[in-house]
Chains A and B, each alone.
Chain A
Amino acid sequence: MRHLLSIADLTRADIERILDNAARFEEVSDRDIKKVPALRGRTVLNLFYEASTRTRSSFELAAKRLSADVVNFAASGSSVEKGESLKDTVLTLAAHSPDAIVIRSPYAGAANLVAGWTTAAIVNAGDGKHEHPTQALLDVYTLRRKLGSLEGRNIWIVGDVAHSRVARSNILAFRMMGAAVTVCGPPTLIPRGIEALGCEVRYDLGDLREADVVYALRMQNERMDEAFVPSLREYAAQYQINGRRLGPRQVLMHPGPVNRGVELSGEVVDSPQAVITMQVKAGVVVRMAVLYEVLAGARDARSAPRPTEPLLA
C-alpha cells in the first residue's frame, strides 16, 4: 500500500493485514525500551493544519517506536499563517525528502492532493469532514480485541454525524468488517442520503438496546453557535448515553475528547463497558502498523523485514 488516504480505498484483507501487524507491535509498547528499528533512518513529517494533541502525539509515538525521525509542522506560527498555500508548503517541506507525510487538514481531499504533489507516502490523519482512516482502524482493532469479531455485530453511532469524519470512516470500516451500522442523532445533524453508505438512520435512542456497541461522537460546541440543536441541555436529554440508556453488555466507544455531561454521562465514561482508553492505546500500535505498511510493507514487500518475533526481539 502506497498511501493511506481513506477507508474507501481499502479491502477487508488490507484492514486485517494492518491490524494483524498492529497486534504484533502491541508487545513493543509493553517493553521498558519501547523501540524497534523497523523504520530506522526514515523521516516522518507530521503536517497538522488543525489543532490536535491526541492524533499528532499518537502518530509521533508510533513513528518513534519504529525508530523513524519525526518532524512536526503545525500550521499555527508557521508560514501558513503568513498566507502560504498548501501546495507551496508541501513542496517546501518535500524538499527535505520525508519518507512519509502524515497530514491533517480542515478540508476534504487534502491528503489526496498532497499525494499528487510529492513522492512521500501520505497518511491521512483527518481531512475535513471526509475521513479519518486511522481512527476507524484503531476502532476496529479495539473491537476485535474486545469482541473477537465484528461479524454480525450491531453498532450504533450516536451524535453529530454530519460534521464527523470519524463517523464516515467508521461506517465504511465497520460495514466492511461485517457489522451492521445504525446512525442516530438530531435530524439537523444527520446528512441527507447517509443511507447510501449502507447504514440505517434513527432519530431517537428508543431502540438503542439492539446495539452491541454504542459509539458516541463528540458534540462540538461550535455547532451550538450554528444552532443545529436548540441547546446542549436538550441534546443531552435526547441523545446522552448514560447509565439508564447503556446496557450492561454493551460496549461504549468514543473518539475523544469526551464532553462529560453532554454526549456521555460521567458514570458511563468511568464504567467497565467503556473502552475509551483502550482506543487511545490501540491508536499507537495501529499507527505503527500503518506507517510500517506504507513505508516498509508494500514498496518491497519481499525484502522488507516483517514485524515478526526475530525483528522485535
Chain B
Amino acid sequence: MSGPGGDQPRLVRAPARPSDLLVRGAHVLDPRTGLDGVHDVFVRDGTIAEISAPGSIAPPRDVETVDGSGRHLFAAFVDPHVHLRTPGQEHKEDLETGTRSAAAGGYCAIVGMPNTSPTIDSAPILGALLDAAAREARVPVGFMAAITRGLRGEELTEMAELRALGAAGFTDDGRPVVDAGVFRRALQYQRLAGGVLALHEEDPALSGKGAMHEGAVSTELGVAGIPSVSESAMIARDCALAQYEDARIHIQHLSARESVDVIATAKARGVQVTCEASPHHLTMTDEDVRGLDTRRKMNPPLRSEADRQALIEGLRSGVIDCIATDHAPHARDEKEVPFEQAPMGTTGLETAFAAVHTDLVVPGHLPLALVVEKMTAGLGLIDLLVPTIATGEPANLVLVDLAAEWVVGESGYESRSENCCFAGRTLRGKVLLTVAGGAVAYRERSIMLSAA
C-alpha cells in the first residue's frame, strides 16, 4: 500500500565505502534461503558476490579475510522500534551513538520513533533528521513520524507529505491514540498516505499511575500496577477498527498473554495486523523487578511468567512476527531516582541477540533459526528491508560467536546511555562483525584486518 506517488520509506546512512570481504568457513544460517551449513561468503563492493564451499574461494590479495570457523554468519538483524532521542534529547542518545549501538548488536538497519523533542510530526523536522542521519548514521536508519501532532492524540499529522518524504510509518509510540474517533480517521487516511500505523497499546484509565506489572509482586512492593488488560483491551479495540477500515496496523512491544490471544484471533479473522515482542519481555518477569532496579522499569512492564511463556509460544506459532528491542536510552541521573519516579525504558540493541540466545536458544526453548528469522523480519513488516544471504544481495551480515560469554556492561556500551536491564548478566553469544548495507559497521576487537 503506497501513496499516489508510490512513495517508499527511506533508510539513510552516512557515506561509507562499500566493503570487500571474505568470511571463510563460517556456519551460514539464513532461514529464508535455506542456507544452513559451512560456507565461504565473498562480499565484493558491498554486494554478496559468491557463496560457496569452504576453501573454494581463493582470497584475493586486496580483500580482508575473516576467519569464520566455529562461528555463525546470519543475515544482519533489523529493528523497527528504537528510540534515538534526536532531536532534543541528545544527552540520552544521538544518531551516531544509537546507530553505533545498533551495529555493535549486529543490526544492519533500524527505525527511530518520533517521540522526540520536538516531535517528528512535520515534514521539515523529518527532513532535517534524515539529512542529519545522512551525515551521522553508522547503519541505515529510518524514522517513523507521529500519527497525531505533538503526540497529543487530537489532530492527524500531514501524513501524506511525511510519507512522501520517506517516513517509515506512523506511530505515537510512548502513548496510545486514546480517542477511537481520531484513530479511525488515521486508519482511513492510510488509504491516501500509506504507511503502517505502529501502535503502543494501553488504556491510560487502566494503567493509571502504574509503574510495573499489576500482580502479586506489585502488591508486595506497594507499587501501583499496570494491568495486562490495559494492553489487551486496547489491542482488541484497534484490531476491530483496523478490520472495519481494512487498514494495516502493527502492534508494538506485546507483553501480555491476553494480547497474544487477541492478535491470534484477529489474524484468524483476516485483520491486517502484525506484532513484535521485545527481548526483555521474552526473558524477564516481574520477579526481576523485586529489587526495584530502575533499569528494569519499562512500558509495557515486565509481566508474569505465564505472560512470558505466552510470548515465547507466540513466536513459535507465528502470531508474533518479529523481535524488536524498544531500545530506550535514559541518562544515568534520570534513572538514579526512586523506581516510581524513574522514566520508563531500557536500552536493548547491544544485548538483544545474546539475551534471547542465552535464555531461549541455549536451553532449547526456541530453535536458533527461528530467532534469527524473527530478528531479521521487523523491517519487512513496514515495507523496508528483509536482509537475505544470497548472491547479488547487498551485504547485510552479522558474524557471531555463539559460545563466547560476556558480562553485560563490563566494557561499557556503545550507546550513550547505560540503562540496560541485562546489566551484570553473563550472556552467551557475541557479535564479532556487522556489515550493514554493504559496509562494515562494527568490528569486535578480536576481528583484525588481515589484508592490506
Binary interface encoding of chain B residues 302-336 relative to chain A, with 1 for a CB under 8 A from any of its CBs, else 0: 00000000000000000000000000000001001
In the complex, the chain B residue whose C-beta lies closest to that of A190 is: B219
Q: Verify if A287 is at the interface (C-beta below 8 Å from B).
A: no
Are A196 and B220 within 8 A (Cβ)? yes
Known: A130-B221, A191-B218. A108 touches B339 (CB 8 A): yes
Task: Give the tally of cross-chain contacts (CB within 8 A).
Answer: 69
Scan A108-137; emit 1 where CB is below 8 A from any B CB, else 0. Answer: 111011000000000000011111000000
Instruction: Give the residues from 37 to 54 in chain B that come closer than 8 angstroms, CB to CB, to chain A.
Output: none
The CA-CA distance from A113 to B341 in the complex, in Å, is: 13
Smallest CB-CB separation from A130: which chain B residue? B222
- The answer to whether the Cβ of A21 comes within 8 Å of any Cβ in the partner chain is no
B217 to chain A, nearest CB (A): 8
Q: In the complex, A263→B337 CA distance in Å?
A: 35
Judge if B215 is at the interface, Cβ distance under 8 Å: yes
A residues within 8 A CB of B258? none
Chain B proximity mask over A33-59: 1 for CB below 8 Å, otherwise 0: 000000000000000000000000000
Interface string of B404-448 (1 = CB under 8 A from A): 000000000000000000000000000000000000000000000
Interface flag for B182 (CB, 8 Å): no
Q: Are B219 and A108 interface neighbours, CB within 8 A?
A: no
Is B270 interfacial (CB-CB < 8 Å)? no
Check if B292 sits within 8 Å of A192, measured CB to CB. Answer: no
B contact residues around A237 at 8 Å (CB): none
List of A residues within 8 angstroms of B219 by Cβ = 191-194, 196-197
**A192→B225 contact, CB < 8 A:** yes
Residues in A88-119 with C-beta less than 8 Å from chain B: 105, 107-110, 112-113
- Name the residue of chain B whose CB is nearest to the CB of A195: B216
- A277-294 contacts to B, CB under 8 A, are none
Q: Report A-chain residues with C-beta under 8 Å of the C-beta of B215.
A: 192-193
State the CA gap A109–B212 with chains docked (Å): 14
- Determine which of A109, A194, A195 lies in contact with B339 in the assembled complex, contact meaning CB atoms within 8 Å: A109
Cα–Cα distance between A131 and B223 once the two chains are bound (Å) = 11
**Pair B337/A85 contact, Cβ less than 8 Å:** yes
Which chain A residues (154-169) contact chain B, with CB distance < 8 Å?
A: 165, 168
* Cβ-defined contact, A129 with B222, below 8 A: yes
Q: What is the interface of chain A mostly: helix, strand, loop, or mixed?
A: mixed
A107 touches B339 (CB 8 A): yes
Q: How large is the interface on A (under 10, 10 to 19, 20 to 34, 35 or more residues)?
A: 20 to 34
Q: Judge whether A87 is part of the interface by a CB distance below 8 angstroms.
A: yes
> Quick one: closest A residue to B293, CB to CB?
A109
Q: Chain B residues with Cβ under 8 A from A105's Cβ?
A: 338
Query: Is B214 at the interface (CB under 8 A from chain A)?
Result: yes
Contact of B216 among A87, A112, A168, A193 (CB under 8 A): A193
Given contact pairs A131-B222, A165-B222, A192-B215, A108 touches B340 in the complex (Cβ within 8 A): yes
Q: Does B338 lie within 8 Å of A130, measured CB to CB? A: no
Q: Which of the listed residues B215, B218, B222 has the most CB atoms from chain A within 10 Å of its own CB?
A: B222
Contact A196 B337 (CB under 8 A): no
Contact at B337–A86, with CB atoms within 8 Å? yes
State A197–B292 Cα separation when bound (angstroms): 18
Known pairs A87-B333, A130-B223, A168-B222; A196 contacts B216 (CB<8 A): yes
Contacts of A197 in B (CB 8 A): 219-220
Query: Please, which residues of chain B bring their CB within 8 A of the CB of A196?
Result: 216, 219-220
A142 to B220, CA, bound (A): 24
Q: Are B340 and A192 in contact (CB under 8 A)?
A: no
**Residues 206-236 (chain B) with a chain A CB within 8 angstroms:** 214-225, 227
In the complex, the chain B residue whose C-beta lies closest to that of A8 is B220
A128 with B337: in contact, given A109-B292, A192-B214, A193-B216 (CB under 8 Å)?
no
How long is the Cα–Cα vector from A193 to B214 in the complex, in angstroms? 9
Question: What is the CB-to-nearest-CB distance from B225 to chain A, in angstroms, rounded to a whole number?
Answer: 7
Bound-state CA distance A191–B223 (Å) is: 10
- In the complex, which of the residues B214, B220, B292 contacts A112, with contact meaning CB atoms closer than 8 Å? B292
B216 near A109: Cβ-Cβ < 8 Å = no
**A195 vs B215: C-alpha distance in the bound complex, in angstroms?**
11
How far apart sit A197 and B337, CA to CA, in the bound complex (Å)?
Answer: 27
Cross-chain contact A85 with B333 (CB below 8 angstroms): yes
* Pairwise interchain contact B216-A108, C-beta atoms closer than 8 A: no
Q: Taking the nearest CB of chain A, how far is it from the CB of B106, in angstroms?
A: 34
Residue of B nearest to A117 (CB): B336
| Inter-chain contact B340/A107, CB cutoff 8 Å | yes
Assuming the contacts A128-B223, A130-B223, A168-B222, asked whether A110 and B338 have C-beta atoms less than 8 A apart, the reply is yes
Task: Determine the distance from Cα of A169 to Cα of B337 in the docked complex, in whole angstroms.
Answer: 23
Considering only CB atoms, which chain B residue lies closest to A105 in the complex? Answer: B338
CB-based nearest A residue for B336: A87
CB distance from A130 to the nearest CB of B (A): 4
Expressed in whole angstroms, the Cα–Cα distance for A231 and B339 within the complex equals 32
Q: Nearest Cβ distance between residue B359 and chain A, in whole angstroms? A: 25
CB distance from B83 to the nearest CB of A (A): 23
B214 touches A108 (CB 8 A): no
Instruction: Write out the residue numbers on chain B whose beta carbons fall within 8 Å of the beta carbon of A165.
Output: 222
Question: In the docked arrangement, what's the CA distance between A195 and B216, Å?
Answer: 8
Contact A87–B337 (Cβ < 8 Å) = yes
In whole Å, how far is B192's beta carbon from the nearest beta carbon of chain A?
42
27 contacts between A and B (CB under 8 A): A85-B336, A86-B338, A87-B333, A105-B338, A107-B339, A107-B341, A108-B222, A108-B223, A108-B338, A108-B339, A108-B340, A113-B336, A113-B337, A113-B338, A128-B222, A129-B224, A130-B222, A130-B223, A168-B220, A192-B215, A192-B219, A192-B227, A193-B218, A195-B216, A196-B219, A196-B220, A197-B220
Leading 7 A-B pairs by shortest Cβ distance: A107-B338, A193-B216, A129-B222, A196-B216, A130-B222, A109-B292, A191-B219
| Additional A-B contact list (19), CB under 8 Å, known A130-B221, A193-B219 | A85-B336, A86-B337, A86-B338, A87-B333, A108-B339, A108-B340, A112-B292, A113-B337, A127-B222, A128-B222, A129-B224, A131-B222, A191-B219, A191-B225, A192-B216, A193-B217, A194-B216, A195-B216, A196-B220
